[in-house]
């Protein structure tokens, strides 16, 4: 029995990670959610709430197990191609499980499970259908990480964005609505740009399959090359907006600060979707050895990343609330990650990915910490001004010290290791001076900003204004601790994790190997398959004497 | 000069420009219109990326050349998604106007200062 289950999973592993959250969301939708009920509420509704939580949490746990199994499978170096509807790539849509996608799915679930546990502490009753939307969000994230098709990537982007719009508004309130309007309009505009970029790429390559596009782009020349490069830059704008790079990060601090704590913590992974897309498109398709299109975006990406890192940390220094401070640190950490990506060497990519794991987990933990501290401080909330002492100064203080040291990159925490790897990987490059200056300077300023916040939070205290029991439940405290535990685990297991990301970077660099597996049923990377569409039949088709150029076509590329 | 390509390209450009202009307005209604116009322009743009064809069937019928079928499928997907998101943004704009009493995208009339608790940086719930 279990053998059959395992065999079934082995055969359908990639798609099951997308289907599980999708079916869970539908089941939760059928279960219904009237909302507005206190967590302790009794009666019929209270039972349904309990069932919603059980179902949602069980599904997330199962997803975590499946994601861990995906990583275990991918770590052997095997690529699994899942053809949806059994149409072979590049004509059908495929899901591709490689080391990168497996790692990102695992990261998603590693963030999602503690966040869900935290949300079950009460946030999920502040509005309707929290769990449903949460699982749709997970579906979008898993799909975006697993797909091997660019248009499919767009579709999953839309799924995760629509879910994120609703999650952002969860709990309502004027600030969330106002930020919600900005966030939604910006992202819809970005989606339009995404489509424009994809259409341009399709026009010159005739394919939307990532593996195929990587081969086709490398062969482009002349005018078509220019068009493909423009497409790369248009897509960079789109992904830069998601990842919050300069000059497209202005939406992030306000939005994340306005979102409810569990949602902000989950959104720590959302910026990484932008980073992931940059790796897939600009690293693989337009990256090294892409013919004349090689490194199209590097002149833009590296300065933008370094500037993001600096401006983010300056914003953190100037922040007047704790949640804004953490949101700005998120921006800053994305800058550091993308700087590693923009160096375009496998070593730097490996370091950047290790740093991604660390920064996502730490930022998610800090967002939850902020809300707990704010709740314990009473009416002052998370504003950085003297206020009554938090109720558990030692516990929260240790938590903050831990998060701050890790975010700033102090040994022996993974932030330190990630930064050292990044500095090492930049050692032989021309950009070394810039990368070293920015990474080290930003680390120092991060520490300064968090120290300032910590001093106000824990030492500048006023006499208490009465009992304030909020934010002290063990259940709420468990989730940030879980995140802190993960950072320790990342530091303790740095060797194997780094070995994995090293192998990942090698795998990403080997585009022909990737294309060989994805396009295997069409005869591998050397078999001509797609081309910009011109109405002629493919040479291999039966009726295929390559016909005379057709006069009815008005325009030839 | 006045080829079909020129006409279509300038048409798309004009609609896009109008969309961007509306997108930059301060009230939510023009912004929603701008998003819709931008969506239309993008849909036609995708369609045209399969090249312009005259007198060619959209699906394979015989030996004769057919118009590129893939952009048509992509456009359908884009239209569906655009429709759903437009519906969402309309509802969001209505709710925002209803709750804040202003249809400005910032949730308050320009020049009106908000209290500290309304500014949206109070993060805690």
Q: Quick: pLDDT tens for A176-204.
A: 888 889 999 999 999 999 999 999 999 99
Q: Is residue B14 part of a domain?
A: yes
**pLDDT average, residue stretch A12-36:** 88
H or E element in which residue B68 lies: none
Instruction: Return the top range by mean pLDDT from A26-35, A51-60, B65-74.
Output: A51-60
Percent residues over pLDDT 70 in chain A:
93
Give me the residue from B53, B70, B124 closest to A382, CB to CB: B124
How much is the pLDDT for A406? 87
B49 touches chain A (CB under 8 A): yes
Q: Is residue B118 part of a domain?
A: no
Give the pLDDT confidence of B13-38 residue by residue, as tens digits.
999 999 999 999 989 999 999 999 99
Q: Is residue B45 part of a domain?
A: yes
Tokens, residue B124? 């805690």
- Number of Cβ within 10 Å of residue A248's Cβ equals 21
Q: Is residue B59 part of a domain?
A: no
How much is the pLDDT for A546? 43
Domain tally, chain B: 1
Q: Is residue B9 part of a domain?
A: yes
Quote the mean pLDDT of chain A: 87
Please list, in sequence order, all residues whose beta carbon lies within 8 angstroms of the beta carbon of residue A361, skipping any fewer than 6 positions away: A107, A110, A111, A483, A486, A487, A490
Domain ranges within chain A, ordered by starting residue: 297-492
Q: How far is CA A233 from CA A283, A296, A453, A506, B122, in A?
A: 13, 8, 38, 25, 36
What CATH number corresponds to the domain at position B94?
A: 1.10.287.3510
Alpha helices in A32-149 (DSSP H): 43-74, 99-119, 130-146
How much is the pLDDT for A468? 57
Q: Which residues of B touch A555 (CB under 8 A)?
A: 3, 5, 51-52
- The ipTM estimated for the assembled molecules is 0.90
Label the pairing between strands A461-462 and A80-83.
unpaired
The CA distance from A62 to A59, in Å, is 5
Q: Is residue B61 part of a domain?
A: no
The CA distance from B93 to A41, in Å, is 33
How much is the pLDDT for A470? 63
How much is the pLDDT for A384? 81
| Mutate: best of B53, B66, B89, B124, partner A, most A CBs <10 A | B124
CA distance A506 to chain B (A): 33
> Among the listed ranges A258-262, A405-409, A539-543, which one has the minimum average pLDDT value?
A539-543
Residue B79's domain comprises: 4-53+66-108
Q: Is residue B89 part of a domain?
A: yes
> Given an 8 Å threshold on Cβ–Cβ distance, is A324 in contact with B121?
yes
Task: Say whether pLDDT at A115 is over 90.
Answer: yes
Tokens, residue A76? 């052997």
Question: B20-50 burial, b if ≥16 CB within 10 A, otherwise e?
Answer: eebbeeeebebbbbbbbbbbbbbbbbbbbbb
Task: Say whether pLDDT at A323 is over 50.
Answer: yes
> Among the listed ranges A214-223, A361-370, B39-48, B58-67, which one has the minimum average pLDDT value?
B58-67
Cis peptide upstream of residue A90 (ω within 30 degrees of 0): yes
Q: Which residues of A touch B123 (CB under 8 A)?
A: 257-258, 261, 321-324, 370-371, 374, 381-382
Give the pLDDT confidence of A473-491 residue by residue, as tens digits.
777 888 888 998 999 999 8
How much is the pLDDT for B113? 65
CB B21 within 8 A of CB A175: no
Q: Closest Cα partner for A14 from A107, A153, A145, A151? A: A145
Give the pLDDT confidence of A495-538 residue by residue, as tens digits.
999 999 999 999 999 888 888 889 888 887 887 777 777 777 65
How much is the pLDDT for B104? 87
The CA distance from A501 to B91, in Å, is 43
**pLDDT average, residue stretch A306-310:** 95
């Amino acid at each position: 029995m279990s053998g059959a289950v395992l065999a079934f999973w082995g055969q359908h592993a990639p798609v099951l990670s997308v289907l599980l959250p999708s079916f869970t969301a539908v089941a939760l939708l059928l279960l219904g959610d009237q909302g507005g009920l206190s967590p302790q509420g009794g009666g019929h509704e209270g039972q349904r709430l309990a069932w919603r939580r059980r179902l949602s949490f069980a599904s997330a746990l199962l997803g975590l197990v499946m994601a861990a199994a995906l990583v275990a499978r991918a770590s052997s170096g095997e690529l699994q191609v899942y053809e949806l509807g059994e149409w072979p790539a590049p004509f059908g849509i495929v899901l591709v499980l490689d080391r990168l996608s497996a790692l990102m799915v695992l990261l998603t679930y590693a963030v999602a499970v503690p966040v869900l546990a935290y949300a079950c502490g009460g946030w999920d009753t502040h509005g309707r259908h929290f769990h449903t939307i949460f699982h749709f969000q997970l579906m979008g994230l898993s799909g975006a990480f697993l797909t091997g098709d660019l248009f499919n990537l767009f579709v999953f982007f839309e799924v995760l964005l629509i879910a994120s719009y609703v999650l952002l508004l969860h709990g309502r309130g004027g600030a969330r609505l106002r930020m919600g309007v900005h966030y939604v309009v910006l992202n819809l505009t970005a989606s339009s740009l995404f489509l424009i970029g994809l259409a341009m790429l399709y026009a010159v390559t005739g394919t939307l399959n990532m593996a195929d596009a990587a081969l086709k782009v490398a062969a482009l020349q002349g005018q078509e090359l220019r068009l493909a490069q423009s497409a790369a830059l248009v897509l960079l704008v789109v992904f830069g907006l998601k990842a919050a790079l300069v000059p497209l990060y202005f939406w992030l601090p306000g939005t994340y600060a306005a979102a409810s704590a569990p949602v902000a913590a989950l959104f720590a992974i959302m910026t990484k979707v932008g980073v992931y897309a940059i790796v897939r498109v600009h690293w693989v398709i337009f990256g090294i050895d892409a013919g004349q299109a090689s490194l199209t975006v590097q002149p833009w990406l590296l300065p933008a990343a370094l500037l993001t890192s600096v401006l983010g940390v300056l914003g953190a220094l100037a922040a007047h609330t704790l949640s804004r401070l953490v949101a700005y640190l998120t921006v800053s950490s994305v800058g550091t990650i993308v700087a590693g990506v923009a160096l375009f060497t496998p070593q730097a990519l490996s370091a950047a990915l290790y740093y991604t794991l660390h920064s996502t987990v730490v930022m998610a933990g800090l967002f939850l910490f902020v809300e707990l501290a704010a709740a314990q401080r009473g009416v002052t909330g998370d504003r950085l001004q003297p206020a009554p002492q938090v109720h558990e100064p030692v516990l929260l203080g240790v938590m903050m010290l831990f998060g701050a040291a890790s975010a700033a990159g102090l040994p022996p925490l993974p932030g330190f290791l990630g930064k050292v790897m990044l500095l090492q990987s930049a050692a032989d490059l021309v950009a070394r001076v810039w990368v070293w200056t920015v990474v080290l300077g930003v680390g120092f300023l991060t520490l300064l900003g968090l120290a300032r916040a910590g001093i106000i939070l824990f030492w500048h205290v006023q006499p208490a204004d009465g009992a304030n029991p909020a934010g002290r439940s063990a259940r709420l405290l468990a989730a940030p601790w879980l995140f802190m535990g993960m950072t320790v685990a990342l530091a303790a297991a740095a060797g194997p994790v780094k070995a994995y990301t090293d192998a990942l970077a090698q795998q990403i660099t080997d585009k022909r190997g990737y294309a060989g597996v994805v396009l295997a049923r069409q005869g591998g990377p050397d078999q001509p398959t797609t081309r910009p569409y011109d109405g002629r039949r493919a040479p291999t088709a039966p009726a295929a004497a390559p016909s005379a150029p057709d006069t009815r076509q008005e325009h030839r590329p | 000069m006045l080829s079909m390509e020129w006409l279509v390209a300038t048409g798309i450009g004009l609609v896009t420009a109008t969309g961007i202009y509306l997108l930059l307005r301060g009230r939510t209604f023009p912004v929603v219109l701008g998003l819709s116009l931008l969506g239309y322009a993008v849909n036609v743009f995708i369609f045209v990326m399969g090249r312009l064809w005259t007198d060619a069937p959209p699906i394979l019928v015989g030996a004769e050349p057919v118009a590129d079928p893939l952009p048509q499928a992509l456009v359908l997907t884009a239209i569906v998604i655009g429709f759903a998101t437009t519906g969402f943004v309309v509802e969001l704009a209505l709710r925002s106007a209803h709750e804040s009493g202003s249809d400005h995208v910032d949730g308050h009339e320009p020049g009106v200062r908000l209290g500290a608790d309304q500014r949206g940086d109070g993060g805690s719930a």
